[in-house]
Chains A and B, each alone.
Chain A
Amino acid sequence: GENVEQHPSTLSVQEGDSAVIKCTYSDSASNYFPWYKQELGKRPQLIIDIRSNVGEKKDQRIAVTLNKTAKHFSLHITETQPEDSAVYFCAASKPAGYSTLTFGKGTMLLVSP
């Protein structure tokens, strides 16, 4: 089955810095890669996703890049703010109809004012 590795497990940055979280996946058939943000005590919420037919996707301060050859994808957050502090999870899934998501173990991002 699919295996998703996520690094680092903890990331501390100063407000205004950039943060990068990296994930690798094992199954070359996977073609859908979402990122979820989970604030303390809350549910995970989708913040951005990318499909294997594109190499990069941006949404304001958040971007995701995908390297299919190397089987890795990354989340980039620019101009970090204290409210970006949360646990971030990457995931991978094979082509639809329905295919379950395999999640990484998460990265705790701490943004200090």
Chain B
Amino acid sequence: NAGVTQTPKFQVLKTGQSMTLQCAQDMNHEYMSWYRQDPGMGLRLIHYSVGAGITDQGEVPNGYNVSRSTTEDFPLRLLSAAPSQTSVYFCASSGGGGDPRTIYFGEGSWLTVV
């Protein structure tokens, strides 16, 4: 049982490049979300999904796209990376019969945009 798996763990991008952060969970959780963590800013919600085919914006959605074609996967796409997107990104999931507000985080993806 791997839990929430994120790839890659580290990535360096040039300004304007695109990339996808992958997230998969094997806990049969309905709910998945992406957060970014910046020094002194806590964890801020980017996008979330309450089930396959359903996504919604969080607090800081600009510059990011998501899709949820399966229950297990919730990729985060950066279409044209900017230095302001340098951050640590955490995918999270919840549900599976438990309180959906009790979320479980992946190990994080460290992204640097130069």
Q: A: which residues have CB within 8 A of B?
A: 1, 6, 9, 32, 34, 42-46, 49, 89, 93, 96-101, 103-106
Interchain CB contact under 8 A, B105 and A43: yes
Residues 20-59 of B at the A interface (beta carbon under 8 Å): 30-31, 33, 40-45, 48, 50, 58-59
Interchain CB contact under 8 A, B48 and A100: yes
Interchain CB contact under 8 A, A96 and B43: no
Interface locus among B11-19, B61-69, B77-85, B95-103: B95-103
Residues of chain B within 8 A of A93, CB atoms compared: 101
Interface size class of B (residues with CB under 8 A): 20 to 34
- Alpha-carbon distance between A101 and B103 when the two chains are bound, in angstroms: 9
Residues of chain A within 8 A of B102, CB atoms compared: 34, 46, 49
Residues of chain B within 8 A of A32, CB atoms compared: 99, 101
Contact A44:B50 (CB < 8 A) given known A97-B100, A99-B101: no
- Alpha-carbon distance between A105 and B63 when the two chains are bound, in angstroms: 22
> Which A residue sits closest to B58, measured CB to CB?
A100
Interchain CB contact under 8 A, B99 and A96: yes
Interchain CB contact under 8 A, B43 and A43: no
